[in-house]
Structure 1
Amino acid sequence: MPADFDVVIVGAGAAGMSLAYHLCAPGSDVPLSIALVDAPPGPLRSPPRTWCFWEPPGGPYDASLAASWPRLRVRSADGASAVARLPRLRYKMLCSDAFEALVEQRLSRAPDLCRMEATASAVRDVPSGVGGEVLTRAACGERVLVRGRLVFDSRPPHRLPPARTTLLQHFTGWFVRTERPVFDPGTADLMDFRTPQPARGLSFGYVLPLDPHTALVEYTEFSPAPLDTDGYRRALRHYTHDVLRLGPLHVTAQEHGVIPMTDGRFPHRPGRSVYRIGTAGGATRPSTGYTFAAVQRQSRAIADQLRSGHRLRMPDPYGRRARTMDAVLLRALDSGRVDGADFFSRLFRHVPGERLLSFMDGGSRLHEDLLIGLRTPVVPMLRTVFELPFRTRRERAAAPSSPAPTGHEESAP
C-alpha cells in the first residue's frame, strides 16, 4: 500500500542527510511531511568517510569537526613549499559519523519525518498524476511504494553522462599515529607532489594533522582508472616512509574513495517530480572533486524554497563559467598539454590563498578568474579552449564503488 509524503529523499549519505537537516530546521512557514529512505546495512550504504571544505570560523557544523586549519601548504615536485595563510577562512574536516550524529539530533525532534530502511529499486514519476514514487524492498522482503509530491534521489549514478573528458579522482588514506611528534597541527598539506606521477593526470599526497602524532595521510591520483589494493598500499608506504619519513607508525583506520571528474552534464531533473542531488545532481566540482560545500548550498536553496511555499527551481551548484573552465583544465590535464604538478604548484605560489579557494569553490568573480588564468600556461590552455567544441562526448560506466574503510590497527615501518 503506498505511503504519501510531501517530500521523499532517497539515500542518507551527505546529500540526503543534508537536505533532511535543512528541511527539518525550526521555523518553517509550510509544514512538510518527509520520508527519508536509507539502504539497509551492506554494500549500498555509504561507508564512514571524511569531508573537507572551507568557510569562516563559526559554521553550523563547527562543534562536530574533527579539526580545522588556518594554513594550507602545497609542495612542488622538487620539495619547494608554498604556504597559504587564511585570515578569514578555515579549512575544515568533518567525519561522516559526527555529521550523522548532529543531523540525527534535529531529525529526532521532527514530528513529520519518517525514516525507512529499505532498498530503492525504482525512482520515477507517478505514471498518471502529479508526484513521484519510489519502489522499495525492506530487509524482510516486503515491498513498499513510497509516493511524494517531490522526490530527491541522492544515489550515485550507474552511468556517467556523455563527456569529452572523464578522469577519476581516486585515493586511499591512512589515519596514522606516529611515535615521534612529526606533524604541525596548524598546517594542512593540500597537495604534495613529491610522489611518482602517472602517465596521464597527476598524483599527490594529502596530509591533515589532528595533533603532533596523528594525521590522515592520503595518496591521491587524477587518472583514468583506479589502482588495486596493493597499488595504494605501495604508494602510501612510499609516501609515509620515503617522502615524509614518519618513522614507525600505526595505521588505526583507513578510507578509500573514487570521485568522477567529468565535463559531462548531470541531469538535475530526470522526471516532472523527480530531482537528483549530490554528485548525481552535479554537486561535485569537476576540476577538484570537492562536493560537501556545494551539497550544503544545494540543500539550503531547496529547503528555503519548499519551506516558504515557493515553486522549486533547482539550483546549479556551479555557474556556467566555472564548468567551462573545468572542462578546459580536465582536457589539458588528460592530454598531457599541461603538467599537473607544475600547474597547481604555480597557482599556489602566485595566487593569494583565499582568492584561490574562492575560485575552487566557484565563487570567484570574472576579473579574479582572468587574473588566475594569467598564472596558468596560457598557450596550452588556449589551444584546449579552441579544441573542445570539436571533441565528441562519449559515455562511460560510473566509477567502481568504494570499499568500506577498516578500523583495525596495523604497523608500518
Structure 2
Amino acid sequence: MLEADVAIVGAGAAGLSLAHRLAGSGSGRRAPSVTLLEAPPGPLRPPRRTWCFWEAGPGRFDAAVTASWRCLRVRDRAGRPIHGDIAPLRYKMIRSDDFEHLVARDLAGHDRVRRVEGTVDTVEDVPGGALVRLRDREGNPRVVGARWVFDSRPPGSLPAARTTLLQHFHGWFVRTARPAFAPGTAELMDFRTPQPADGLSFGYVLPLGRHDALVEYTEFSPRPLTPDAYEAAVRHYTDDVLRLGDLEVLSAETGVIPMTDAVMPRRTGQSVFRIGAAGGATRPSTGYTFAGLQRQTRAVAAALGEGRRPVPPPAHSARSRAMDAGPLYFHSGATLGQQGTRIAREMHDIIGHNLSV
C-alpha cells in the first residue's frame, strides 16, 4: 500500500492547483507528502479546455497565461456595444495544456509529490485517515492510504436544487486571412446569435492577435446540442454575424457546465473532502470556476501548513450565492426575446463595478 499525508484524486485544474500549492507552501512546517492520482489516457481524463478568470496584478500561474485583457465588451441584440475598463483587474486566459506543463515542471523538483496513474473505484474513511482503491492500466488493484483525501472528480449526480441549467458551448481557435480582431478587447457576450426557444445564447470572442482568436457559441438552456448543431452555430456566428471571411480552424473545444443553486457538499467523510467544481467552486450564475478553486486550494494549503483540519471553505460568499440565485432562476424561466436587453445591462453593471465572478 502506498502511503501519504495527502491524496488528491484527479489531475484537472483543482487537483493540480492543490498539488502545486502543497509542494510550494513555504510555511515553517515540513511540506506534506502528496500522492496525486490521475486517470489514464481515455474518457476519464478531462478534455483540453480553456479557463478564464479575473485577477488584479501578477498571479501564481502567469507563466501559463495565453493572453489577458483590461477592456471588455458586451453587445445587445441590435449589436450596440457596451464597453468597460476593468482596471486594476485583468481578464486572463489559461489553456489547460499550458497549465499542466507549468505544474508538471514545478512538481518535478519536489520529491514529496508522487504522481500515480490509475482508475479510482472507491474512497473510504478508516480510523485516522482514508483509503483510495484504484486499478492501474492492466487492471491490477492498488491502495493508497492518506491522512486526508481531496476528491476533485465530477459527482455522479447533482444535489437537489431550485434551479439547474446547463451552460454548454462549442468554440474554435481560428486564424483569419485578414486582420479581423482588436487584441485589446474581449467580447464577453454578443447577443446577436439566434435565440433558443427555452434559454438564451451569445457569442464570445477572445482575441489573441489581429488574425487569431477563440470564438465560441454559448447557450444557457436545459440540454446540450448535437455536434452538428454546435458546428452550425459557430459557423453562423463567424460567417454571418462577425463576417470574418476566410479562416482556418486551428482547434476546437466543447464543454458543459452545470449552473445550479444546489449546495455542493465539500466534506464526504471525516478525512475526505471535495474540491473544485465537485466542491462548489463553480459560480452558479456564470459557470466560472478557476478563481473559486484557487481560493479553495489556497485555504486548504494554509490549513495544512498550520496544522489545522483542512476543510475546504465555500468558494463564494453567501452574498455572492444569494445574488446568483435571482438571475439563475430568472434565466431559467424566460427567453432572451422576453428579457430584451436586460442581460446586456446586467453585464454592463458587472463590468462597471469590477465584480469578480
Instruction: Please say whether Structure 1 and Structure 2 have the same fold, judged by a TM-score greater than 0.5.
Output: yes
Name 1:391's counterpart in structure 2.
none
**1:295 Cα deviation from its structure 2 partner:** 0.8
Q: Mark the CA change 1:267 to 1:145 in structure 2 (over 3 Å): closer, same or farther.
A: same
**1:104 Cα deviation from its structure 2 partner:** 1.2
Q: Mark the CA change 1:143 to 1:295 in structure 2 (over 3 Å): closer, same or farther.
A: same
Deviations 1:185-238 (A, max 9, x none): 000000000001112221000000000001000000000000000110111111
Name 1:316's counterpart in structure 2.
314
Aligned ranges for residues 265-284 of structure 1 at < 5 Å?
A: 265-284=263-282
C-alpha distance in 2 between matches for 1:168 and 1:352? 21
C-alpha distance in 2 between matches for 1:73 and 1:115? 41
Name 1:156's counterpart in structure 2.
154
Name 1:344's counterpart in structure 2.
343
Cα pair 1:266 1:281 within 8 Å, conserved: yes
Count of matched residue pairs = 355
Name 2:101's counterpart in structure 1.
101
C-alpha distance in 1 between matches for 2:352 and 2:18? 28
Cα pair 1:66 1:93 within 8 Å, conserved: yes
Residue type matched to 1:192 in 2? D
**1:352 Cα deviation from its structure 2 partner:** 6.5
TM-score of the pair, normalised by structure 1: 0.83
Among the aligned pairs, what percent are the same residue? 55
Name 2:9's counterpart in structure 1.
10
**1:161 Cα deviation from its structure 2 partner:** 0.8
TM-score of the pair, normalised by structure 2: 0.96
Deviations 1:139-192 (A, max 9, x none): 022100111111000001110111111100000000111000010000000000
Cα pair 1:178 1:249 within 8 Å, conserved: yes
- What runs of 5+ residues in structure 1 fail to find an aligned partner? 362-413
Cα pair 1:201 1:340 within 8 Å, conserved: no
Aligned ranges for residues 1-400 of structure 1 at < 5 Å?
A: 2-25=1-24, 27-28=26-27, 29-126=29-126, 129-336=127-334, 339=338, 342-349=341-348, 351=349, 353=351, 355-358=353-356, 361=357
C-alpha distance in 2 between matches for 1:33 and 1:295? 21
Secondary structure in structure 1 of the residue aligned to 2:341: helix
Residue type matched to 2:185 in 1? T
**1:330 Cα deviation from its structure 2 partner:** 1.4
Q: Mark the CA change 1:354 to 1:125 in structure 2 (over 3 Å): closer, same or farther.
A: farther
**Superposed structure 1 runs of 4+ greater than 6 Å apart:** none
Residue type matched to 2:118 in 1? A
**1:280 Cα deviation from its structure 2 partner:** 0.5
- What runs of 5+ residues in structure 2 fail to find an aligned partner? none
**1:291 Cα deviation from its structure 2 partner:** 0.2
Cα pair 2:71 2:85 within 8 Å, conserved: yes
**1:353 Cα deviation from its structure 2 partner:** 2.1
**1:101 Cα deviation from its structure 2 partner:** 1.2
Identify the range of structure 1 (307-316 vs 246-255) with the bigger mean alpha-carbon deviation: 307-316
**1:354 Cα deviation from its structure 2 partner:** 5.3
